A and B are shown apart, each in its own frame.
Chain A
């Protein structure tokens, strides 16, 4: 998220400083499902944001010097059992009404597209040819390196400890290595956005939920699409409840490794994966694709996704404090929506308006009163 904002602002000739506590792609950006995906985006601003961002991904593919393995191989939302059907159909209806229809294909067609999937676990699928996968670590590094070339200053291993404000406006950012005078601060701190918000007494209602994924050793071309199970639509709320949720997510990286997942649970800020979730992810994926039985896991990873109550990001200015701009709360969709959000924030800062209306994504929708 932050890298995208930095890149577009630098490209627009603005004087930009990116402050990052770690290094490139150290947090959620480097530990996700690597999907660039629109199938499960809800009708309304959700899908509009996603489609806009997909276009930005394509644009970046051409613009950035460093490649990031973006493959628009298509996406499949697999309908695994009967209970999922009504949910999927309802979703398709709403999307069609909204002008962003999706194709439903039958089991035979699915198995033609992904022959290793288990017949027993495929009743059909939603197919989207524009969806795909990428290498999120490379994407973030590519954005950073280009931003730097265009004049942005990247301050890594530097932590923001405070924000100076006076007269209802931002005056500067205090880091553990010194203060930066500025009138505009973009809060792109993901799962830590609430801590940044506190520095200007703004309540940012994002709460982290932990998602874990597994990485397999490299295989010959095995999975061509971004594949998700429709249980995700059922389990979607699981991150907000207690316990361990799990849904099918799989894709194959350019290098050949499969990223498979995913489990989610509330785990504070603990990045460690636990045995239960690793075994659960294995079970769900082996059931969906039996040839995975002999494929070996070589590591697991987990990170936090900044979830908001309505599963939509928080973009835009904040009433009551001038110069403090929100660009966070992207939940599990940061890689897909990041580039697009970055462009929109750049437009907001430079032109005062955005090519895609984002008013409904404003922080104010949570009716959080600003404390004195």
Chain B
């Protein structure tokens, strides 16, 4: 594949915004995305087969997404867009490895932007692996983009106003919600938090509308409540919920059972930082922002020159932030590649920075509310699975610590935690917290698992079908 000046990995709001700014400046841009259609998670589009007949019924964010995608569409001929393309590695020689159309290939870049987004924070508690326990993101995709309800009597548990969005969508779709559990409490700040995500008074009104519809449907909105356990033989039959204290620890004698068949867990997001980690960028751990996030300059550049990172994948901050950061990265890359003068770049970045600052004020409030408290990572019991792929239990972690293990990569070796196909995504974020609480250590002491290619599973046949037809070995004999 022909090399590109500026490669953008991730077709969500951050990547799209960056692509447009860079292309506007004349940069040769390649936008790479895994899905069939652009939009990432927040602006997920319908697949072919669905016809949208009433966009308003689909919510403000759907419409906002359509607007952004429309603008991108106007620049289509200036941007090389590779859909259904997985980036499975990044290498020192400034290339990335792609899997596309059943074959692996290489793409060289001068500058690269990681706009890889985030995913739901995994929280181990007894029964969380039962079919019918969904993440809020997974449930949202089902309801919004596939128009299927996750179940018949649904319990929402988590923290933060995003849960209300999901609740509203479920109710609008005719679903039944047993209760919505908020681990923290709703202060005045909580509503201001809406602004933090959407940065816009329209969305605050929208948020109030969600609250009204939830109240109207008679759905209990229980603050300072958490889900402790889920029981069932092969499927969910009941959930145990309890009131919690300030540290999110269940208060004694408040546990009660509720009969539900589906659970949606929304405890915030974790940044997908595998690509920047593999690229050797410096990272810092910030639970508030979603775990290990890349260190960045004001122009969105990481510690590796020419590699940028924006959006939730670089620190969970919502789509408005992703868009502004994306714009800044696009402009900065254009400057770095010589398409814009320093003055012009600074001029163009100014309004983005201004908008970012305005959103940031509200973001911090939101983050404070939704920061996981210690009790969340104490819900697991000895036989609770903490690594889903390899079925590693909390007891195994306790035993490993008893034997003197201090670092996550050593726990991995003794227990196989993190060695499954999810490549640590569903276990590392919680095991970091569990280990550091039990050890009284910092997250940096505990460390994490270093991503290795391929950063998502790739079929061997795809790798074997790699572009280069003839390969030479050390002996020069052909090995095709």
Contact = CB atoms under 8 A, between A and B. Distances in A.
A160 B159 CA distance: 49
Contact of A244 (B405, B468, B474): B474
Contacts of B474: 235, 238, 241-245
A293 B459 contact: yes
B461 A141 contact: no
A25 interface: yes
Contacts of B471: 280, 283
Given A24-B410, A246-B473, A255 B460 contact: no
Given A297-B457, A299-B423, A299-B454, A255 B416 contact: yes
Nearest to B96: A275
Contacts of B464: 279, 282-283, 285-287, 293
A283 B464 CA distance: 4
A90 interface: no
Interface stretch (B72-80, B87-95, B433-441): B87-95
Interface string A31-57: 000000000000000000000000000
B452 A273 contact: yes
Interface in A298-315: 298-301
A292 B453 contact: no
Contacts of A238: 473-475
B104 interface: yes
Given A141-B414, A243-B472, A272-B92, A298 B463 contact: no
A353 interface: no
Contacts of B421: 217, 296, 298
Interface residues of B, number: 40
B423 A274 contact: no
Contacts, number: 124
A278 B454 contact: yes
Nearest to B463: A282
Given A141-B413, A275-B89, A275-B106, A297 B475 contact: no
A216 B460 contact: yes
Given A145-B403, A272-B92, A275-B453, A298 B473 contact: no
Interface string B384-427: 00000010000000000001111101100110100111010000
A174 interface: no
Interface in B180-213: none
B171 interface: no
A270 to B, nearest CB: 9
A186 to B, nearest CB: 22
A246 B460 contact: no
Contacts of B51: none
Of A217, A278, A301, chain B has the most CB atoms within 10 Å of the CB of A278
Nearest to A154: B404
A356 interface: no
A293 B419 CA distance: 21
Given A217-B421, A296-B457, A300-B453, A278 B463 contact: yes
B479 interface: yes
Nearest to B414: A141
B410 A292 contact: no
A156 B413 CA distance: 15
A234 interface: yes
B97 interface: yes
B407 A23 contact: yes
Given A30-B413, A298-B457, A299-B423, A275 B91 contact: yes
Nearest to B104: A279
Contacts of A296: 421, 457-460
Contacts of B472: 243
Interface residues of A, number: 48
Nearest to A215: B419
A241 B472 CA distance: 13
Nearest to B454: A297
A300 B452 contact: yes
B466 A25 contact: no
Contacts of B409: 23
Contact of B453 (A141, A242, A278, A294): A278
B479 A284 contact: yes
A201 interface: no
Contact of B460 (A235, A275, A297): A297
A299 to B, nearest CB: 5
A137, A141, A242, A274: most-surrounded residue (chain B CB, <10 A): A274
A298 B420 contact: yes
Nearest to A285: B460
Contacts of A294: 459-461
A113 interface: no
A295 interface: yes
Contacts of A244: 473-474
B461 A275 contact: no
Interface string A239-267: 00111111000000001010010000000
Interface in B5-31: none
A278 B461 CA distance: 12
Nearest to B406: A157
B475 to A, nearest CB: 7
Contact of A297 (B413, B463, B479): B463
B108 to A, nearest CB: 11
A280 B479 contact: yes
Nearest to A287: B464
Contacts of A145: 403
Contacts of B457: 217, 296-298
A213 to B, nearest CB: 11
Given A283-B466, A293-B461, A297-B458, 20 more contacts: A145-B403, A216-B460, A217-B420, A217-B457, A241-B474, A244-B473, A255-B390, A272-B91, A273-B453, A275-B106, A279-B468, A282-B461, A282-B463, A282-B466, A287-B464, A293-B459, A293-B464, A296-B421, A296-B457, A299-B452
Kindly list the 6 A-B residue pairs having the minimum CB-CB distance in the complex, ordered from nearest: A293-B461, A282-B463, A296-B457, A238-B474, A243-B474, A279-B466
8 contacts: A214-B460, A217-B421, A241-B474, A257-B419, A279-B104, A283-B471, A294-B460, A296-B459
